Structure 1
Amino acid sequence: MSAPASLTPRLTLGRLALLSVLLLFAVFFLTPLYVMVATSLKGMDEIRTGTLLSLPLSPSLAAWATAWSSACTGTDCGGLKPFFMNSVLMVLPAVAISTLLGSLNGYVLSKWKFPGSEFLFALLLFGVFMPMQVVLLPMSQVLGWLGIASSVWGLIFVHVLAGIPSTTLFFRNYYVGLPDELIKAAMLDGANFWQIFWRIVLPLSTPILVVTLIWQFTNIWNDFLYGVVFSGADSKPITVGLNNLANTSSSVKEYNVDMAAAMIAALPTLFVYVVAGKYFVRGLTAGAVKG
């Protein structure tokens, strides 16, 4: 059955202009990604003789293999693999812990308010807007006192603390929209604080969980400042490794290897947004930024 004529979108002049503008913006933002991918698949001879936008004539993953396992990042020539693994070991627990703590904070600050809870939330909110550079020196001292300076555990600790304000904000604003009657009914049935959280509140938190997980994963994976300041020789994340690789001097600058390394560093976040991007938008519209 065909759709009614009134429901069939018509290609008006205004709609055509809008689509043209959107297409122009899409091309503008995707061109750097295309250049990176195309250059990473070319050999150096083809890069020298061709143009920046030309397609690779003989696509090869040799530059990717070099960037992963044998490219020089300063004095070490082991590629990006160890840096990538450091980021994985750092990101997964940091994202999980900061998200869990943020959900608990949001739950308490929205459904179990106490005297001074609004003031405490205001202090946490201040942490969202505080420049990262402000905490570098005191955080270095704290990591030294705890004995986890220049380690992956130290980076995890830093990113958990840095992420708590934003995760708390997300969950608190989302939980404000949940009916208080749910909590009261559960309390009348004898459920305690943790039972209400695990069995009622958390199962209703899927949209904001997705938003927070993607937000934290992206921020932590792409962070460079904390990685370069708080990491040691064996705990540097992928962003620091990419910077070292790009700035390592050699007799011949291998642009294809640099582009392949940049793509390797960007693949996890690209994958997350491609797979879960629509859920991120749904989570935002479900209440992540309201309250």
Structure 2
Amino acid sequence: MTRTSDRERRRDPARIALYVFLLASAAFFLLPVVVVVLNSLKTMDEIRQGSLLALPASPTFDFWRIAWSSACSGIECRGISPGLFNSIKIAVPAVFLSVLVGALNGYALSQWKRPAADRIMLAITFGLFVPYQCMMYPTIVLARTGGLFGTYPGIVLIHVVYGIPYTTLLFRNFYAGLPDELTKAARIEGASFLQTFGHVMLPLSVNMLVVVGVLQFTGIWNDYFLGFIFAGNENAPMTVQLNNLVNNTRGEVAINVNMAATILTALPTLLVYLLSGRYFVRGIAAGAVKG
């Protein structure tokens, strides 16, 4: 009976249609990646003469090395390697601070059982729906006034401030779903607010910390707009370097180099997802988007 029911379940038209839809969706999203990878391994002559989906006749990683190099000729600089360290030194502290502040805010709001807490949470959530493009002018004025415009501390602070509403909302929903007995037991043992947060709540939030950290890292690493405006030339992240490379108008447009540079820029976020995949899925299942 069990084998028969399993066979019938596999032959269920609805299940088959679901699998077909999932495979078609995966192919739809993976096709651009396949095109980029294939053409980053071809010469320009091969790209011009063949199809974008054709396999490379003689695959080569020479164009990856060109995309990565930081060699300059005259006033023209090609390569995205200078932006790697900039992106790392921007993303790491910005992710750490925004996640830490968001976790502390979320815990405080989840424990504050008063109408004022709901109003504060509503105000924070409202910040999620205001496009930061609309706040650029006052943000630029404030950054200039504080001497932070075009500086490394300035771009880190901008990412932290814009990330706090998002991280606070996720952590508040997560902590609101935990049993109140945990904090009550900590208070009975004499633990303070910060001790309860550091010794009880944070250890229970590992999966959630990974979820929020991965989402924040992805958003900050892939950001171009804020990095272009606030980072300055010396702190320009990889996305700005990629844009400069792709929009280079001197000579022939090297499609293979541009595609290789695109892959190199996207690799760190892909590696982060691969390394944290198990914890990311657990965090989502534990209520990362609940509430």
Give the TM interval when normalised to the shorter protein.
over 0.9
Retained in 2: the 8 A contact 1:73–1:248?
no
Q: Give the AA of the match of 2:95.
A: V
* CA displacement 1:263-290 (0-9 Å, x = unmatched): 1111111222233234323322211222
1:133-282 map, 5 Å: 133-282=133-282
Matched residue SS, 1:116:
helix
Aligned length: 290
CA distance in 1, matches of 2:289, 2:27: 29
Retained in 2: the 8 A contact 1:73–1:244?
no
Map of 2:81 onto structure 1: 81
Matched residue SS, 2:54:
coil
Relative to 1, partners in 2 of residues 1:71 and 1:262: Cα closer, same or farther, differing over 3 Å? farther
1:65 aligns with 2:55: no
CA distance in 2, matches of 1:123, 1:150: 29
Q: Give the AA of the match of 1:141.
A: V
Map of 1:34 onto structure 2: 34
- Percent of aligned pairs with the same amino acid: 48
CA distance in 1, matches of 2:73, 2:198: 45
CA distance in 1, matches of 2:129, 2:169: 12
CA distance in 2, matches of 1:191, 1:10: 54
RMSD, aligned α-carbons: 2.1
Q: Give the AA of the match of 2:21.
A: V
CA distance in 2, matches of 1:99, 1:55: 43
Retained in 1: the 8 A contact 2:10–2:16?
no
Relative to 1, partners in 2 of residues 1:74 and 1:256: Cα closer, same or farther, differing over 3 Å? farther
CA distance in 1, matches of 2:277, 2:130: 27
Q: Give the AA of the match of 2:226.
A: Y
1:119 aligns with 2:119: yes
How many angstroms does 1:23 deviate by?
Answer: 1.6
Map of 1:91 onto structure 2: 91
Structure 2, unmatched stretches of 5+, are none
Retained in 2: the 8 A contact 1:72–1:245?
no
CA distance in 1, matches of 2:159, 2:11: 48
CA distance in 1, matches of 2:250, 2:76: 13
* CA displacement 1:211-235 (0-9 Å, x = unmatched): 1001101111111111111121111
CA distance in 1, matches of 2:184, 2:204: 16
* CA displacement 1:114-149 (0-9 Å, x = unmatched): 662222111111111111112211111222222221
CA distance in 1, matches of 2:191, 2:4: 54
CA distance in 2, matches of 1:85, 1:193: 37
Retained in 2: the 8 A contact 1:239–1:265?
yes
* CA displacement 1:33-90 (0-9 Å, x = unmatched): 0010011111112212221001111111111111111477994415101112111110
Retained in 2: the 8 A contact 1:74–1:248?
no
Map of 2:290 onto structure 1: 290
Tell me the TM-score normalized by structure 2. 0.93
Q: Which moved more, 1:28-37 or 1:273-282?
A: 273-282
Retained in 2: the 8 A contact 1:74–1:245?
no
Structure 1, unmatched stretches of 5+, are none
